[in-house]
Structure 1
């Protein structure tokens, strides 16, 4: 029976490259001269550090531009609260990978409400869709691309 998997993965190497490029741009920009503004990457967390809240927003804009140029979906970033000390503002950004249980339930519900003759099953951090006809599976992919989903989706492991 034909099937495919719905996943939400981000290329970690592209994130590393985007952070490096953003750091390089921050060090060369005149408005960040003699400031300690920078980005730090630790596995699935990016920490933005800047002297003021305004400069923190500028660092965020630089990072977003670099990620967009490398085709990394911004919807996978989850911003935490800004913490400010005497002369430093910090913000942590979590890079989410995989489909959490709540979003997986929303996806399966959306697929079942579509009326297509397919089955959707949650398997860890991915959703497997199976059906008798290949056309039904392609209709599900089209449906999910049209739907407004809070996370980026990829369709992998398509089997006949």
Structure 2
């Protein structure tokens, strides 16, 4: 029996690049004229993988989001993996928002990926969920390349990374 070739589908953000982007955004916001003498804070919790935005009003919050999003894009952090929470009122008329970074493929998305691979009726490609990743295996490398191409054309709301190709 021929040995199966495999690859893993994962997702995630480089947390050091996120920290660098947050620091750059803080510097830019501190020097911008429209943020002088108003509440404009960005907090980054490395362990919880959350970014907290605190602004004077919704306009400033949206401006802060544009700044941080631009910095993240410049540092090749996938913005599809950022989930913005709902803006909530805070003390003294300010507003807060939490942004969560997706670091793993959720079970329902993993099941959708497996279902997609099975529905495509590849000759010998098999998909299985392994924790927070999906492993695709097949004896044919060309078929694996076709699976990668087809999955890149799909939109699951997160950036898919294809690695551990053996």
TM-score by length of 1: 0.97
- Equivalents in 1 of 2:158, 2:58: separation in Å? 27
- What root-mean-square deviation, in Å, do the aligned CA atoms of Structure 1 and Structure 2 show? 0.8
The residue number in structure 2 matching 1:29 is 32
Q: Which residue of 1 aligns with 2:109?
A: 103
CA distance in 2, matches of 1:22, 1:84: 22
Per the alignment, residue 126 of structure 1 pairs with 133
Residue of 135, 138, 153 corresponding to 2:142: 135
Distance 1:126 1:84 in 2: 37
**What is the aligned partner in structure 1 of residue 61 from structure 2?**
56
Q: Tell me the SS of whatever aligns to 1:81.
A: coil
Structure 1, unmatched stretches of 5+, are none
Which residue of structure 2 aligns with residue 9 of structure 1?
12
Q: Aligned with 1:115: secondary structure?
A: coil
1:9-57 CA-partner distances (Å, limit 9, x unpaired): 2100110011000000000000000122021001201000111111001
Q: Secondary structure at the match of 2:86?
A: strand
Using the TM superposition, give the Cα deviation of residue 148 of structure 1 relative to its aligned residue in structure 2, in angstroms: 1.7
Aligned length: 159
| Structure 1 residue 114 displacement after superposition | 1.1
Mapped pair 1:87 → 2:93: yes
